[in-house]
Amino acid sequence: MKIVVLKFGGSSVGSIKKIQNISKIIIGYLKKKYKVIVVSSAMSGETNKLANLTKKISKNFPASEYDSILATGEQVSCSLIAGCLIDKGYKARSWSAWQIPILTSGNYSHSRIVKINKKNILKFLKIGGIPIITGFQGINSENRVATIGRGGSDASAIMLAKFFKAEKCVIYTDVDGVYTTDPNITTNAKKIKTISYEEMLEMASLGAKVMQPHSIQDARLNRIDIEVKSSFKNIAGSTITKRKNILTKNIIRGVSFTKNDTKFTLVGVKDRPGVAASIFEPLYKNAINVDMVVQNISSYKKETDLTFTIKHEDLNKTEKLIKKNKNISFKKIIIDDKVSKVSIIGVGMITTPGVTFRMFSALAKKNINILVISTSEIKISVLVDRKNLKKAVDVLHKEFKLDY
């Protein structure tokens, strides 16, 4: 059985007209003799509306009920897609994840798919049916609906492709592929035809919004190639695949950035073994993601200044946790919420010397000061003043010849 999994994002199903449009895409694959499994997100904006309703009820809305209400958004879009296909004479039906079932583990709002029961879906495919499956959700060991987190419909599609051994997994969105950087920032951004899992994972985690990082990690672990295409333009997209499938001369494949960073500096921290763990433990327990970390040791080695970055939305919570932490001692906190992170990504830097120099030199020529530096095997990230964000992206995009 030749199976394709098609996932449609919220922007692709955001109106009746758009749903009618994607039905034509689905029918196109049927005409190519594919058995089609469709995964849909909620209509654009619907998940936020549902989340806001819970806030009006309670500041401490139960996590299980939160997931239960958010999961209804996908049910609506799936039913509309199924109804549209039925109206055109095709056999289709919507499936909520619990009806299949799709089994998850982990906490509410952050679950992961561990198993998919294939029996009923396979039976439906064999009789020519088109299953329209709710993304972003499954059921947990307590038989409750559990969601996978924002962007979780991508993960649903990838895991369905894994369990059903699909020939293709195509993510349809409002962009026509993966670009070297955000075209809204740099007009010379170019579409990348093929990109490795590792590069895409770094780009997504560093600000590129095409896909969620954990979805790419699932694809990488299961060696599932992903096509990213536009549901509005019938043109070639981008393929996310393993490194050995990629032929390119570019050392750097893309420039990513984030706008909503905040920098914390704890000045005069009493230096002792375990002090960093004491600082970050409360943040970890409150699900605050710490990104870039720099520690400076004083000349007499009794005090240290420790700098780290978080997302802006966690600023107030982080400040409160730091101030009430009895396990650490410091002189003062300096907070800068007008910073942005800019990163260059590429597997080519593993074997190419001089990339760091070129990056820092290019920024220096434009008088852009670097506040914090973070590196991995295939990326270099720097923190800069937010006012310099566009200038930094433009100069790095040009320095590494991504314009051409």
Q: Each residue of 178-208: pLDDT tens digit?
A: 999 988 888 889 999 999 999 998 888 877 7
Within this chain, do residues 268 and 167 fall inside the same structural domain, yes or no?
A: no
Within this chain, do residues 155 and 292 fall inside the same structural domain, yes or no?
A: no
Within this chain, do residues 161 and 287 fall inside the same structural domain, yes or no?
A: no
> Is residue 250 in a domain?
no
> Is residue 159 in a domain?
yes
Is the pLDDT at 370 greater than 70? The verdict is yes
**CB atoms closer than 10 angstroms to residue 352:** 12
Within this chain, do residues 18 and 128 fall inside the same structural domain, yes or no?
A: yes
Within this chain, do residues 142 and 279 fall inside the same structural domain, yes or no?
A: no
Q: What CATH number is associated with residue 381?
A: 3.30.2130.10
Which of 122-136, 142-156, 232-246 has the weakest average pLDDT? Answer: 232-246
Average pLDDT, the chain: 92
Domain-ending residue, one of 174, 209, 230 = 174
Is the pLDDT at 299 greater than 60? The verdict is no
Q: Report the DSSP beta bridge partners of residue 307.
A: 265, 294
Q: What CATH number is associated with residue 14?
A: 3.40.1160.10
> Is residue 222 in a domain?
no
Number of separate domains in the chain: 2
Distance between CA atoms of residues 47 and 22, nearest Å: 20
pLDDT for the residue 261: 92
> Is residue 240 in a domain?
no
**CB atoms closer than 10 angstroms to residue 15:** 13
- How many H helices and E strands in the chain? 12, 20
Within this chain, do residues 22 and 168 fall inside the same structural domain, yes or no?
A: yes
pLDDT for the residue 302: 78
Distance between CA atoms of residues 224 and 245, nearest Å: 13
> Is residue 189 in a domain?
no
pLDDT for the residue 245: 66
Within this chain, do residues 144 and 262 fall inside the same structural domain, yes or no?
A: no
Tally of residues, the chain? 404
Percent of the chain residues topping a pLDDT of 70: 98
Distance between CA atoms of residues 336 and 270, nearest Å: 22
Distance between CA atoms of residues 186 and 170, nearest Å: 26
Percent of the chain residues topping a pLDDT of 90: 72
Within this chain, do residues 154 and 280 fall inside the same structural domain, yes or no?
A: no
pLDDT for the residue 300: 57
CA angle 150, 151, 155 (to 5 degrees): 120
Closest CA to 83 of 38, 29, 123: 38
- Report residue 232 as tokens: 């509005």
In the structure, what pLDDT confidence band is assigned to residue 304 with cuts at 50, 70 and 90?
confident
Residue type, 53: L
> Is residue 208 in a domain?
no
Within this chain, do residues 126 and 271 fall inside the same structural domain, yes or no?
A: no
Within this chain, do residues 264 and 358 fall inside the same structural domain, yes or no?
A: yes
**CB atoms closer than 10 angstroms to residue 316:** 9
pLDDT for the residue 126: 96
pLDDT for the residue 83: 98
Within this chain, do residues 165 and 50 fall inside the same structural domain, yes or no?
A: yes
- Report residue 249 as tokens: 């001369």
pLDDT tens sequence across 339-354: 999 999 998 888 888 9
Residue range of the domain that includes 149: 3-174
CA angle 205, 187, 228 (to 5 degrees): 45
> Is residue 238 in a domain?
no
Within its chain, how far is the Cα of 45 from the centroid?
17
pLDDT tens sequence across 141-189: 999 999 998 778 999 999 999 999 999 999 999 888 999 998 888 888 9
Report cis status (omega within 30 of 0) of the bond before 101. yes
Task: Give the relative orientation of helices 389-399 and 355-365 as an angle to the nearest 10 degrees.
Answer: 130
Within this chain, do residues 35 and 164 fall inside the same structural domain, yes or no?
A: yes
Domain-ending residue, one of 174, 191, 218 = 174
Which pairing describes strands 372-376 and 293-297: parallel, antiparallel, or unpaired? unpaired
Contact 262, 311 (CB under 8 A): yes
Distance between CA atoms of residues 310 and 337, nearest Å: 10
Of residues 298 and 65, which shows the higher confidence score? Answer: 65
Domain-ending residue, one of 174, 204, 228 = 174
> Is residue 83 in a domain?
yes
Residue type, 8: F
